[in-house]
Amino acid sequence: MTIKNRLNQILNLSFNKYRMELMGFATIWIGLMHVFPELFPDVEIPIIGKIIERGNLGVEIFLFLSGYGLYCSLNKTNNVVLFYKKRANRILGAWLILGSLYWIIFGILSKRIGITWLIYNASGLSFWGSGVTTIWYVSYIFIIYLLYPLVYIAQHKTSSSVLVIICGIVLINCTLSVVKSDIYSNIEIAITRTPIFLIGSYIAQIHNSKQESTDKMLLIVWSYVLLTSFLFIISPILQDSNHNIAVMLYRYGGGGISIILLMMLTVVFQKVNMNVPFVYYGKVSLEFYLISVFIRNIVSLYVSEVTLTFFLCIIISLSIFFLSTIVANICKRILDRIVFFNVTNN
């Protein structure tokens, strides 16, 4: 088999077949990052701690799979109204109901409660206005869901439009980081990750074309993977000289690294029968993400000023992780019964 054919074979791995398992892996990785290094940044766990610290790459995995999944969904039904209804049913309950409950509890405990403060935070506006990252992902993906049909239409007219949009986003990010660095620093965690979402949509188009990937498509995807992976590697070098640029390169670089991880994981899930726990976390991914962040933030109100032993920190972190797992499962069962819009099965 030639190198070209091998690369083509790797590119055409079925991410959609193992989408739930891949989402589950990302959920676990992100969850461990939330309850370990983000809650106890001074606690160092040998070897595995460095892997957990990179849990933010799970966000890139999620965004890639979101782009991939949204393309497949619209390509299957070609029904924008149905598309919006399904997305709304998936996120509105978790976002508005769980989010509102959290901000009420957190507001009371932190003595900040107020109707304006509650609406500002529960709506997600606090992320875009003040850089409050508690539910940043939901606020961001909501915008992505609203705009995606326009991306899909442009992509179907010409697949290269995705590349033009990516270049435009990179240019906007670079300009914003210089001209309005305060605004950029508030929202960079979201806008710098948009390219990997679009690459997911682009690769989904390749997979759904029912034709073998062309040389041009192969070149584009693998060039993206290699270039962004290189940016990921060199980003620490610029950390001291230009923090904003270093973080930007790290975010962009995470896209290439996440695709490599996705390919490796897909092969593993094909070969090894260990899918059940990953499918479980994949099904409750949104609820687990929100619940784990909420519990962590509430716990941090009480442990931030207290000196704890290494083992006690580990016990607290693991307790939050498994408590979040249980609560997320309960919330998922309840939220599945709440339907904002009726949809027909296809």
Q: What angle do CA 236, 25, 63 make, to 5 degrees?
A: 65
DSSP state at residue 235: G
Give dist(CA 62, CA 60) in Å, integer: 5
Question: What is the spatial distance between Cα 196 and Cα 185, in angstroms, rounded to a whole number?
Answer: 19
Whole-number pLDDT of residue 213 = 53
Q: Where are the alpha helices (DSSP H) in 93-135?
A: 99-109, 115-122, 125-130
The residue with tokens 């994981």 is: 265
| Ranges of the chain whose pLDDT falls below 70 | 1-14, 210-215, 305, 344-346
With a CB cutoff of 8 Å and minimum separation 6, the contacts of 7 are 218, 222
Q: CA-CA distance, 161 to 152, in Å (whole number)? A: 10
Cβ atoms within 10 A of the Cβ of 83, count? Answer: 20
Three-class SS state of 38:
coil
Q: In whole angstroms, what is the distance from residue 196 CA to residue 66 CA?
A: 10
Half-sphere exposure of 172 (CA within 13 A, CB side): 14
Give residue 346's pLDDT: 46
Q: Pick left, alpha or beta for residue 273 (phi over 0 → left; psi -120 to 50 → alpha; otherwise beta).
A: beta
Q: What is the pLDDT of residue 13?
A: 63
3-state secondary structure of 1: coil
* Alpha carbons 302 and 175: distance in angstroms, whole number: 40
Q: Which residues contact 127 (CB under 8 A, 6 or more apart)?
A: 133, 134, 135, 136, 139, 140, 186, 187, 190
Q: Give the span between the Cα atoms of 57 and 44, in whole angstroms.
A: 19
Sign of the four-CA dihedral 20, 21, 26, 29: positive
Contact predicate 76/16, CB 8 Å = no
- CA torsion through residues 216, 204, 135, 40, sign: negative
